[in-house]
Amino acid sequence: MTISVGDTLPGGTVLEMSEEGPVAIDLDMLFKGRKVALFGLPGAFTGPCSTAHLPSFIRTKAQFDAKGVDDVVCISNNDPFVLGAWAKESGADTAGVRLLGDAEATFIKALGLDFSAPAIGLINRSSRYALYAEDGVVKVFHLEEDGGQCTVSSGESLLAEI
């Protein structure tokens, strides 16, 4: 079953790269009592993920802050080392957009948003989506019907509904 508005985000642990190495992030603590803009994408350093999706949240980060959003977070099915490199190369780290690794796809499977496309080398990946949650409850949810596009799941689209 796919997550929808009104549902509570699942808990679990993901990894974030720090200067000292990977750090475990408890998702229940990340969401509890906080306003979070969360987006997922098929993979770091891939087509629309690098040219459209992540850049849209980097561009709009200050506007999310102005609306009282506590955190702008990307969860991808990459390892934290790849995400750390992508954060540096893309400027997400300096913009304050957090990139969290769900390498085993546990979180994305709990959301019901996983897919595989073996012909292009994508296994257990995340569908392209964006959501806004308050205290872990989904208030806005945008799922991209065509994963090669970034329209309804962009930072601007999500920001418009908060």
Active site residues: 49
Give the residue among 56, 26, 62 at the shortest CA–CA distance from 39.
Answer: 56
Report yes or no: 40 and 108 within 8 Å, Cβ to Cβ. yes
Quick one: residue 68, left, alpha or beta (phi over 0 = left, psi -120 to 50 = alpha)? left
